[in-house]
Amino acid sequence: MSSLIGKRALVTGGSRGIGAAIARRLAAEGADVAIAYEQSAAAAQVIVEELQQAGRRAVAIQMDAASPDSIQQAVDRAAAELGGLDILVNNAGIMRAGPPETMSLKDIDDTLAVNIRAVLLASQAALAYLPSGGRIISIGSNLAEQVPTAGLSLYSMSKAALIGWTKGLARDLGPRGITVNVVHPGSTETDMNPVDGPTAEGQLSRMAIKAYGRAEDVAALVAFVAGDEARSINGSGLTIDGGANA
């Protein structure tokens, strides 16, 4: 696995779950990786040391996805530490679920700030560094395309917004040779969504393949989209959800 040798990547929300798996896979493919984290400094450092021991340049960078200044500083530092930037993976996200009438203004503002605004600002900041052949990959959700149960309207709206952003930005950046795509995971086994969790039975009932996906599966798809063989995949939403949305 060496399709990303010489590439430099920033993965937001990279200290755990899907983000950590993406960081590991990009490094396994040859990329140097900056991991942006909010609070999990120790977990991020463990991954950084793992990647360094494998021969990759790696750095952990604290970033508050709700802070425009923090996002700009994280992108600038990633580029400085790695000597440039070729790949941006917008993975950081939050979920606020519940009946719409119970959603507080803070719930709404936090969701919009982290799930939408942070993606826009990180992408904007990365454009100062991304060359032709650069990649912007955002992590969405299969709930952007179908909403199978109540209580998900705010979260689903925030992830659906990434579809429009991705399509528009792909048009804007295509002439520069930069592709923009969104990967939509479905039920994926992480500490935030365990296979033995209280909602697992309902999630599995909607899937054609009755098994949670693995974070490594999502990471493999992201690594492919980041590579040269995906040069013609642009403005696309790629769903990896065991057929839940089939």
Cross-strand bridge partners of residue 137:
89, 181
- Please give the positions annotated as active site: 155
Q: Residue 89: helix, strand or coil by DSSP?
A: strand
pLDDT digits 0-9 by tens, 68-121:
999 999 999 999 999 999 999 999 999 999 999 999 999 999 999 999 999 999
Class of domain 8-240: alpha beta
For residues 3 and 238, the model is more confident at 238
The pLDDT confidence band at residue 199, using thresholds 50, 70 and 90, is: confident
pLDDT at residue 193 in the model: 85
Looking at residue 2, what is its pLDDT? 63
Query: Is residue 1 pLDDT above 90, yes or no?
Result: no
**Which of 145, 127, 144 shows the shortest CA–CA distance to 136?**
127
The per-residue DSSP string of 20-64 comes to HHHHHHHHHTT-EEEEEESS-HHHHHHHHHHHHHTT--EEEEE--
Q: pLDDT, tens digit, for every residue of 34-55?
A: 999 999 999 999 999 999 999 9
C-alpha span between 193 and 207 (Å, rounded): 15
Residue 62 has pLDDT above 80, yes or no: yes
- Comparing CA positions, the residue from 116, 119, 139 lying closest to residue 186 is 139
Which 3 state secondary structure label does DSSP give 74? Answer: helix
Q: Which secondary-structure segment (H or E) carries 79?
A: helix 68-82
Instruction: Tell me the domain boundaries of the chain.
Output: 8-240
Instruction: Calculate mean pLDDT across residues 155-173.
Output: 98
Q: Which residue has the higher pLDDT, 190 or 228?
A: 228
